[in-house]
């Protein structure tokens, strides 16, 4: 803008009503899927002691932190992710809950990155975790949430793949090939960059560990190398009817150091193979974060709101599912009350209030407006019906906006009359 | 805690599942009431250019800001309130929307204050605003939202009062008494402190303006001084059946400098007369914030989550309404699927998945657990029914947990069977 008006900070979104409704669609879908899987919601603070993040990640995110000294001289950080806080919470409160804890959080996170398509300086993240259960069944439960989330957003089999790997398969390979345990993290970093780094660089790095690129690629390429953990996971998801989305893929290792065992990523299979969600086991993190005081096995994943929104908007059937939800849930009102003449206003206000107290969403003109203009406003706010109030009449005229047809309801029982009309599907309203 | 485990920052809340559910109760009630009144939801960023807040408030909140330089050298602030951002948003985008804009936001705000009962360093605020309508009808619409919010939270007439005043009545009084216009803000500050400051101090300050405490108190005490604006507002709310909660009270002026015209506060009438919500007209703020480029009359109010939660917990009928909601909406699952023997697990996983895809909330044991322990888990997660899966059976046994009675459903159509049971009210399940 050429003028001096205030603007939002780079990478920070203003959620105007339509953007907010799309955000609600994502959040309500996430929430609905997690709750249907028996997960309960929690939320940790947006601001935490900076040490919490440094301890967890060993500095992996530290260059991207919104970090500062507060007025009390504490060094604090706007959360870049929520797993560190969850580990803190679980270490402190786990004794109060039966195991396993099946918990989810939908929260905003902040990272100082270069804003670009698919990435801002704030984003919402759906975090799903099972704490206190070491068995593969917990990992399967997690993958069921991830897959059902994609299906609930309108995606189908060809749209996405869940690529699963096992860090233990890699540590066994490394041990078999004579890589010392203290160089395992370094080795996993190399595998993580297999698709992004030049072959010569990879070859050189692997050689320093006594390995070859061809050997590593052969290990990845052989489906016989699927671990026992994966076979169990596959059988579990097959019993659920959800195995068709799975793929064993050793090239997935996930960058972060704290993963143990199963790791996975959900990929956009049609387009640019972007990762939509990812996670895995982190059996030692809570012990590390609590100084060894609490030891809880854990497995979890996160899905951000940027990539998935782009993917929905690029996938016609997912977009249609979203638009259908928006049509039902994002209208400014269901009923528009028309004030026929100004002397009908008091009566109209009474009708408006009765409907609202029954939790029906109602709008009406705040000042004197001509009839056609009121009908236009009813359409703008996407009302399904317009109730025309005339003081003293026993019956009120109601316009069905989809068909522009008229019906009447009893003024004495306007709530029942309106509810009956709204309960009909739009098709029958049109008839 | 005596050990070295991490803790949350002072004044910042961890929302464990029960606290989160209470927070959801408040947010969903706020959202439901606002939407029933034809308001649409938006949200502005948590972090803004510090200048935005300094410009709006003239420094009123500046000592309480979480303010810092980001990595790009911008001076930024965690929002202490949302009206400044709304003014920015409205100035930039108002042309894209028909007037009036009826918008609401439920957002977290941050102030560096001493944490105490009823106040933390973060809090959620329900903000409701009407932009682009100068008439009293907009103020009435706002009060209708405030009152209906209290009623929807289970409060009744004796629990709260809505005290309404009019800054214009005070500016007229001041003009009549010869107070110069440039000292009006100073005068309003004195009136704002009438109930908190010692009489001698007030007397001295008023004398410097050529006024007396007795005169000011007489003006406040005379109900004949209700302004024409208030009479119109009262008539509007009377037509809505909501006037009984209103009270004309000139002692309400609201501290912030930018209010014009109507101001109000919702008070706890039984207990300590705490303000639960407050707001008023701010017809010049958007013009100020946009450097005169956009001029939109506006009226709005905010309700925080601390005082209202305390008030609910101290008011038995409001507490009962909340517990009823929590009972319906905060259970970890509706259905517990019991895995009778481990050889039934694959069949159980299929049943679990069918129910979940139908958006029924289901939990089940992730590993081998004895039958009585599974029933105990079903109760812990507050399931209403437990479905006992035996592979190969045509009928599945279902335990109704409230009555501990048994019924059977067809294994072939488990979703319909379960849904029919859940659709019955708990009373009939008990029969």
Domains of chain A and any CATH numbers: 17-325 (3.30.930.10), 333-430 (3.40.50.800)
Q: Token pair 């009765």 is at which residue?
A: A354
The residue of chain A with its CA nearest to that of B123 is: A45
**A102: number of Cβ within 10 Å:** 26
| Residues in chain B within 8 Å Cβ distance of A156 | none
Task: Name the band, by pLDDT with cuts 50, 70 and 90, for residue A5.
Answer: confident
Give strand ranges (E) for B58-202. Answer: 66-69, 75-78, 101-110, 122-131, 160-166
| Model pLDDT, residue B60 | 62
| Model pLDDT, residue B339 | 96
Arithmetic mean of pLDDT, A127-139: 98
| Model pLDDT, residue A430 | 44
Arithmetic mean of pLDDT, A273-297: 94
Task: Name the band, by pLDDT with cuts 50, 70 and 90, for residue B58.
Answer: low
Give the one of B240, B360, B380 whose C-beta lies nearest to A350's C-beta.
B240
ipTM of this complex: 0.95
How far is the C-alpha of A411 from the C-alpha of A348, rounded, in Å? 11
How far is the C-alpha of A132 from the C-alpha of B385, rounded, in Å? 25
| Model pLDDT, residue B219 | 95
- Any chain B CB within 8 A of the CB of A271? no
| Model pLDDT, residue A118 | 79
| Model pLDDT, residue B59 | 61
- Any chain A CB within 8 A of the CB of B141? yes
Q: Is the CB of residue A48 less than 8 Å from the CB of residue A85?
A: yes
| Model pLDDT, residue B239 | 97
Structure tokens at A303: 């899905």
- For A145-170, b/e burial (b = at least 16 CB within 10 A) is bbbbbbbbbbbeeebbbbbbbbbebb
pLDDT digits (tens, 9 = 90+) for A238-259: 999 999 999 999 999 987 778 9
| Residues in chain B within 8 Å Cβ distance of A49 | 6-7, 9
Q: Token pair 């979480």 is at which residue?
A: B66
Arithmetic mean of pLDDT, A101-123: 94
Task: Name the band, by pLDDT with cuts 50, 70 and 90, for residue A4.
Answer: low
DSSP helix/strand/coil, A420: helix
Is the Cβ pair A138, B366 closer than 8 Å?
A: yes
Share of chain B above pLDDT 70, in %: 97
Structure tokens at A218: 């052969």
Arithmetic mean of pLDDT, A300-324: 97
Sequential DSSP letters for A213-234 = HHHHHHHHH-GGG--HHHHHHH
DSSP helix/strand/coil, A416: helix
pLDDT digits (tens, 9 = 90+) for A136-148: 999 999 999 999 9
| Model pLDDT, residue B258 | 86
Q: How far is CA B88 from the centre of its chain?
A: 22
| Model pLDDT, residue B5 | 82
- Rounded to 5 degrees, φ, ψ at B318 are -70, -40
Structure tokens at B104: 């609401």
The edge-to-edge listing of strands for the beta sheet with A275-281 is: A40-41, A101-110, A122-131, A298-304, A275-281, A262-268, A160-166, A246-248
Share of chain A above pLDDT 70, in %: 97
Nearest to B297 by CA among A366, A375, A18: A366
Which of A8, A293, A297 has the highest number of chain B CBs within 10 A, making it the mutation to test binding with B?
A: A8
Question: What is the nearest CA distance from B202 to chain A, expressed in angstroms?
Answer: 33
How far is the C-alpha of B115 from the C-alpha of A424, rounded, in Å? 51
DSSP helix/strand/coil, B164: strand
| Model pLDDT, residue B84 | 94
Arithmetic mean of pLDDT, A75-104: 96
Q: What is the mean pLDDT of chain A?
A: 93
How far is the C-alpha of A258 from the C-alpha of B370, rounded, in Å? 34
Is the Cβ pair B122, A46 closer than 8 Å?
A: yes
CA distances from A2 to A5, B93, B95, B289, B290 (A): 9, 15, 17, 16, 13
Question: What is the nearest CA distance from B407 to chain A, expressed in angstroms?
Answer: 23
- Any chain B CB within 8 A of the CB of A99? no
Is the Cβ pair B14, A71 closer than 8 Å?
A: no
Phi-psi region of A135 (alpha: psi -120 to 50; beta: other; left: phi over 0): beta
| Model pLDDT, residue B429 | 46
Arithmetic mean of pLDDT, A221-235: 94
How far is the C-alpha of B29 from the C-alpha of B149, rounded, in Å? 7
What residues contact A423, with CB distance under 8 A and at least 6 apart? none
| Residues in chain A within 8 Å Cβ distance of B330 | 40
Structure tokens at A169: 């398969």
Arithmetic mean of pLDDT, A88-104: 95
Share of chain B above pLDDT 90, in %: 87
Q: Is the CB of residue B271 less than 8 Å from the CB of residue B314?
A: yes
Give the one of B72, B362, B366 whose C-beta lies nearest to A36's C-beta.
B362
Q: How many CA atoms lie within 13 A of B77 on its CB side?
A: 24
| Residues in chain B within 8 Å Cβ distance of A113 | none
Nearest to A363 by CA among B157, B409, B37, B354: B37
pLDDT at B112 over 80: yes
Q: Parallel, antiparallel, or unpaired for β A385-389 and A395-400? A: antiparallel
Is the Cβ pair B24, A4 closer than 8 Å?
A: no
- Any chain A CB within 8 A of the CB of B122? yes
**Dihedral sign computed on CA atoms, order A177, A178, A181, A186:** negative
Arithmetic mean of pLDDT, A51-56: 89
Is the Cβ pair B9, A45 closer than 8 Å?
A: yes
Question: What is the nearest CA distance from B204 to chain A, expressed in angstroms?
Answer: 35
What residues contact A325, with CB distance under 8 A and at least 6 apart? A25
Is the Cβ pair B6, A88 closer than 8 Å?
A: yes
What residues contact B384, with CB distance under 8 A and at least 6 apart? B331, B334, B335, B400, B401, B402, B421, B422, B426, B429
| Model pLDDT, residue B427 | 52
**A322: number of Cβ within 10 Å:** 21
| Residues in chain B within 8 Å Cβ distance of A23 | 43
Is the Cβ pair B362, A38 closer than 8 Å?
A: yes
| Residues in chain A within 8 Å Cβ distance of B290 | 5
| Model pLDDT, residue A13 | 97
| Model pLDDT, residue A57 | 75
Structure tokens at B62: 């500046």
Give the one of A5, A52, A380 whose C-beta lies nearest to B91's C-beta.
A5
pLDDT digits (tens, 9 = 90+) for A384-420: 999 999 999 999 999 999 988 999 999 999 999 999 9
- Any chain B CB within 8 A of the CB of A239? yes
Q: Is the CB of residue A136 less than 8 Å from the CB of residue A233?
A: yes
Nearest to A406 by CA among A416, A420, A396: A396
Arithmetic mean of pLDDT, B337-346: 95
Task: Name the band, by pLDDT with cuts 50, 70 and 90, for residue B430.
Answer: very low
Arithmetic mean of pLDDT, A123-133: 98
pLDDT digits (tens, 9 = 90+) for B370-385: 999 999 999 999 999 9
Is the Cβ pair B8, A45 closer than 8 Å?
A: yes
Give the one of B38, B45, B330 whose C-beta lies nearest to A361's C-beta.
B38
Task: Name the band, by pLDDT with cuts 50, 70 and 90, for residue B55.
Answer: confident
| Model pLDDT, residue A62 | 77
Q: Token pair 């289901």 is at which residue?
A: B362
pLDDT at A206 over 90: yes
Q: What is the mean pLDDT of chain B?
A: 93
Task: Name the band, by pLDDT with cuts 50, 70 and 90, for residue B428.
Answer: very low
pLDDT at B95 over 80: yes
Nearest to A299 by CA among A87, A70, A58, A37: A87
The residue of chain B with its CA nearest to that of A109 is: B46
Q: At what angle do helices A414-423 and A345-357 cross, to 10 degrees?
A: 60
Q: Is the CB of residue B105 less than 8 Å from the CB of residue B43?
A: yes
How far is the C-alpha of A85 from the C-alpha of B152, rounded, in Å? 34
pTM of the model: 0.95
**B242: number of Cβ within 10 Å:** 21
Which of A356, A358, A383, A391 has the highest number of chain B CBs within 10 A, making it the mutation to test binding with B?
A: A356
Structure tokens at A380: 């703008």
Sequential DSSP letters for A180-213 = -GGGHHHHHHHHHTTTTS-HHHHHHHHHTTT--H
Arithmetic mean of pLDDT, A317-343: 95
């Amino acid at each position: 803008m050429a003028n001096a008006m205030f603007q939002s900070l780079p990478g920070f979104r203003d959620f105007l009503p339509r953007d907010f409704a799309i955000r609600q669609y994502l959040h309500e879908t996430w929430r609905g899927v997690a709750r249907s899987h028996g997960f309960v919601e929690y939320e940790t603070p947006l601001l935490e002691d900076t040490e919490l993040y440094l301890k967890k990640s060993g500095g992996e995110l530290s260059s991207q932190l919104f970090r500062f000294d507060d007025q009390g001289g504490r060094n604090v950080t706007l959360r870049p992710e929520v797993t560190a806080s969850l580990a803190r919470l679980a270490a402190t409160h786990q004794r109060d809950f039966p195991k396993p804890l099946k918990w989810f959080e939908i929260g905003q996170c902040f990272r100082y990155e270069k804003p670009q398509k698919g990435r801002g300086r704030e984003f919402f993240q759906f975090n799903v975790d099972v704490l206190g259960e070491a068995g593969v069944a917990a990992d399967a439960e997690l993958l069921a949430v991830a897959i059902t989330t994609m299906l609930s957003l309108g995606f189908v089999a060809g749209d996405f793949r869940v690529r699963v790997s096992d860090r233990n398969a890699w540590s066994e390979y490394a041990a078999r090939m004579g890589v010392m345990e203290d160089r395992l993290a370094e080795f996993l970093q190399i595998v993580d960059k297999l698709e992004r780094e030049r072959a010569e660089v990879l070859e050189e790095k692997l050689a320093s560990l006594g390995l070859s690129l061809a050997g590593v690629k052969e290990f990845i390429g052989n489906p016989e190398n699927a671990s026992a953990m994966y076979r169990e996971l596959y059988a579990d998801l097959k019993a659920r009817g959800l195995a068709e989305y799975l793929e064993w893929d050793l090239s997935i290792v996930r960058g972060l150091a704290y993963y143990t065992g199963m790791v996975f990523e959900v990929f956009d299979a049609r387009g640019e193979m972007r990762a939509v969600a990812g996670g895995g086991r982190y059996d030692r993190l809570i012990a590390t974060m609590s100084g060894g005081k609490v030891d809880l096995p854990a497995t979890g994943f996160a899905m951000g709101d940027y990539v998935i929104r782009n993917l929905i908007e690029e996938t016609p059937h997912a977009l249609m599912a979203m638009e259908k939800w928006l049509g039902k849930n994002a209208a400014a009102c269901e009923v528009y009350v028309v004030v026929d003449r100004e002397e009908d206003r008091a009566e109209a206000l009474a009708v408006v209030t009765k409907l609202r107290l029954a939790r029906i969403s109602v709008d009406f003109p705040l000042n004197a407006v001509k009839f056609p203009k009121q009908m236009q406003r009813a359409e703008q706010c996407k009302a399904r019906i317009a109730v025309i109030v005339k003081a003293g009449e026993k019956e009120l005229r109601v316009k069905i906006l989809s068909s522009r047809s008229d019906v009447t309801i009893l003024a004495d029982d306007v709530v029942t009359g309106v509810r009956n009309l709204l309960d009909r599907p739009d098709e029958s309203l049109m008839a």
